[in-house]
């Protein structure tokens, strides 16, 4: 497992979040996990 810090641009605002993923997780999957996490946290 590894921790990745991702900046998500959502509705004109930038959100910084951490994602924990396996080493073989693709970049696209990591970005999608980060986007879902921000949406859930901020109820966007």
Question: What's the pLDDT at 42?
Answer: 80
Surface-to-core class of residue 8, CB atoms within 10 Å of its CB (0-12 exposed, 13-18 middle, 19+ buried): buried
| Segments forming the whole domain that contains residue 24 | 2-42
pTM for the full predicted model: 0.84
Domain count for the chain = 1
> How does pLDDT run across 1-44, given as a tens digit for each residue?
999 999 999 889 999 999 999 999 999 999 999 999 999 988 75
Q: How far apart are CA 26 and CA 15, in angstroms?
A: 20
Angle (CA) 33 25 19, round 5° = 40
Tokens 């073989």 — which residue?
A: 24
Question: What's the pLDDT at 11?
Answer: 87
């Amino acid at each position: 497992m590894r921790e990745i810090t991702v900046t998500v641009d959502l509705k004109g605002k930038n959100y910084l979040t951490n994602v924990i993923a396996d080493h073989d997780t693709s970049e696209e999957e990591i970005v999608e996990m980060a986007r879902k996490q921000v949406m859930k946290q901020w109820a966007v």
